[in-house]
Structure 1
Amino acid sequence: MKRIPLLQISDLEKRFTVNEKWMSQWSLNKGRSYKRQNTVYALNGITLTLHRGETLCIVGETGCGKSTLARAIMGLTKPDAGEIHYGDQRIDNLNDRQRLIFRRRMQMVFQNPYASLNPRMTIYQTLSEPIRFHNPHLTRTEVDDKVSQLINSVGIAPSWVDRYPHEFSGGQRQRISIARALSVEPELIVADEPLAALDVSVQAQVLNLMMDKQEEYDLTYLFITHDLAVVEHFSNRVAVMYLGAMCELSPTKTLFDSPKHPYTQALLSAIPRLDNNTQKPIKLIGEVPTPYDAITGCPFHARCPFAQERCIAETPAMKRQADGSSVACHAVEEDRL
């Protein structure tokens, strides 16, 4: 019997209309004025599968659509096209009431620990609120015990639960955010760059905490990050995004040992390594295309040294490779690299 993936994303698209000042919306063409509408093409046909118990990391430069993808999965942003399935049920077309049953199974850890906690609520209120909402049968004593257990499990003294977020450091706040996500015993945690605002030493502590909790609760992670060292240490598979599209999807070891897409090769070449001083970073020429324009052909063709006419005219499809990776690149398909 075929195992159903925990999360299945198919041909997901998202557009945003940019609201400019009133005067900036108008242009002239042959003496006639017309109203111009700027659209940001954030996601362009993303297809992705997440299996139960794994950690899938999504990497790519700023503005490539990673956070938009995370918010679409969590229902915070409604996609314009495509489908999202959780288990065997489609969830992207559900309203807030219908989606309520999935709120407990899917949780999110946000990037900024200074903004993700309500400054007017104590830590006890922050943790107890979701517990009470999803478990109305629990008594006050049972809720208190669960809050104490949660806060202690992330390395913070239970005696501090009556304090407010401003009394904690950034690393402690992110630990509290993780405790809040764990409070409803989810199956999937979407972590949107949870280490970005933290010091390097604190990043290691939070990352180790997340790994421990994954083993303890059999969690599945969709982990968004810029840090390729974290990716190599933490993930089972890696998805590389560029300008709202998927470039490469690969097991972690395969990606770092043998990157195939030219953009992936450029990303990995920028990692400082003590064991290899001969490889020079790949310098990409040109500018990143603006997301205001619809993509034609390969999203990377304007900066790719291997681009040909086909790359400009035809969008490459994700093709399965012999080593288990999938790559969207005409040059790889035609064996030009």
Structure 2
Amino acid sequence: MTTASLSSSTGSTPGASTAPEAAQPLLSIRGLEKRFSLSGDFLEQLKFKGGKLVREQKHVHAINGVDLDIRRGEALCVVGESGCGKSTVARTVMGLITPSAGEIRYDGERIDDRSTKELLPYRRRMQMIFQNPYASLNPRMTIQQTLEEPIRLHHPDWSPAKVQDKVAEVMNAVGIAPDWGARYGHEFSGGQRQRIAIARALAVDPEFIVADEPISALDVSIQAQVLNLLMEAQQERNLTYLFITHDLAVVEHFGTRVAVMYLGRVCEVAPTATLFATPRHPYTQALMSAIPRLEDDRPQHIRLQGEVPTPVNLPSGCVFHGRCPHANARCRDEVPALIATDQGGQVACHGVEEGRI
């Protein structure tokens, strides 16, 4: 997409957090893991090997020990190639997927172990915008019904007139014409449907929104409009975003901070300007070198060797060691932890820790 059409730059990101580093994060993730079974039910797991009946289980290790903090008012972008686990993190945070291990805390309270009923108060404070606007709207409901549904769920004591006033308010906020209310989702384009999805998320006045690649299914000409809408909503409503994307041009203009994931692990977390100017992790450096630039002095493109390992059989130690030109014996044996950098970020790399990179 063309970055020139966006209304804001990294240096003036709307809603950027000014809270001190010591302030309690709005969302805190620690040791988060998610495994999906490939073995079927119990009987399908039983196999004959060497004349003995054994139970064999295989799992896809989608996320593996993710640690992240999201501060109030910021837009934390999570980037990485397809299959790295970024969307699984988003859905686990929202309670759509149950984690296999780890914990998630929202405003200091643990939420990953709560029942559906106990989570209801948090559902109003946390909303999600999905990737595909063609699948996220109920085809049997009008737009008016779609926008009224979450309001009625979270405010059962509101009168019909008050609900309709709230719907009119959010429709106006995202640029939806009043006559759209009587129509159905299939009557709209992808960009229009995503505006409706954003209005639905804003209808209950949340403070935290997970946006899972909300513009990837849209035409390039519409992407900037939707991004500007999200940034305006952040500024006007003091929203906090967890923004999942693979588009680094979007990250550079939208994100306050960036978390880079590879094979289910967080490689690096840093302020957006810092990450683009001086990436520390070898994988982040390779990603940044792949961005098309017009400057003559841009770094030479880094070509990684080999293929991304399968998440079924994870490599030992650092998951990136098989493709990293700086890997040594420690990288092959020991999983690196996120360590603080002198530029206000974090990086999980033995080479950086030892001063080799």
**d(CA) in 1 for partners of 2:66 and 2:293?**
32
Which amino acid counterpart does residue 157 of structure 2 have in structure 1?
H
Aligned to 2:181: 161
Describe the shift of the 1:43–1:31 C-alpha distance in structure 2 as closer, same or farther (beyond 3 A): same
Are 1:89 and 2:109 counterparts?
yes
Moved more, 289-298 or 220-229: 289-298
Pairwise CA RMSD? 1.8
Of 332, 343, 348 in structure 2, the residue corresponding to residue 323 of structure 1 is 343
- Residue 31 of structure 1: how far off its partner (Å): 4.9
**d(CA) in 1 for partners of 2:196 and 2:341?**
41
What CA deviation, in whole Å up to 9, does each residue of 1:275-301 have, x standing for no partner? 236533211111111111244200100
**d(CA) in 1 for partners of 2:129 and 2:151?**
17
Aligned to 2:318: 298
**d(CA) in 1 for partners of 2:262 and 2:27?**
21
Aligned to 2:150: 130
Which amino acid counterpart does residue 36 of structure 1 have in structure 2?
E
Of 259, 274, 288 in structure 1, the residue corresponding to residue 308 of structure 2 is 288
Aligned to 2:283: 263
Are 1:232 and 2:274 counterparts?
no
- Residue 34 of structure 1: how far off its partner (Å): 3.9
Aligned to 1:193: 213
Aligned to 1:53: 73
**d(CA) in 1 for partners of 2:294 and 2:142?**
45
Describe the shift of the 1:131–1:273 C-alpha distance in structure 2 as closer, same or farther (beyond 3 A): same
Counterpart secondary structure, 1:4 = coil
Aligned to 2:15: none
Aligned to 1:72: 92
Aligned to 1:312: 332
- Residue 142 of structure 1: how far off its partner (Å): 1.7
**d(CA) in 2 for partners of 1:226 and 1:328?**
20
What CA deviation, in whole Å up to 9, does each residue of 1:79-102 have, x standing for no partner? 111111101211011000000010
Aligned to 1:10: 30
Aligned to 1:223: 243
With normalisation by structure 2, the TM-score equals 0.90
- Residue 14 of structure 1: how far off its partner (Å): 1.1
**d(CA) in 2 for partners of 1:266 and 1:306?**
13
Describe the shift of the 1:317–1:269 C-alpha distance in structure 2 as closer, same or farther (beyond 3 A): same
Describe the shift of the 1:300–1:125 C-alpha distance in structure 2 as closer, same or farther (beyond 3 A): same
Counterpart secondary structure, 1:196 = coil
- Residue 30 of structure 1: how far off its partner (Å): 3.5
**d(CA) in 2 for partners of 1:58 and 1:293?**
24
**d(CA) in 1 for partners of 2:294 and 2:23?**
41
Moved more, 126-135 or 253-262: 126-135
Which amino acid counterpart does residue 60 of structure 1 have in structure 2?
G
Aligned to 2:227: 207
**d(CA) in 2 for partners of 1:155 and 1:289?**
44
Counterpart secondary structure, 2:167 = helix
Moved more, 35-44 or 244-253: 35-44
Contact 2:39–2:59 (Cα < 8 Å) also in 1: no
User: Which runs of 5 or more structure 1 residues have no equivalent in the other structure?
Assistant: none
Aligned to 2:269: 249
Q: How many residues align?
A: 337
Which amino acid counterpart does residue 135 of structure 1 have in structure 2?
H
**d(CA) in 2 for partners of 1:79 and 1:20?**
19
Counterpart secondary structure, 2:138 = coil
Which amino acid counterpart does residue 257 of structure 1 have in structure 2?
A
Which amino acid counterpart does residue 3 of structure 1 have in structure 2?
A
With normalisation by structure 1, the TM-score equals 0.96
User: Which runs of 5 or more structure 2 residues have no equivalent in the other structure?
Assistant: 1-19
Counterpart secondary structure, 2:182 = coil
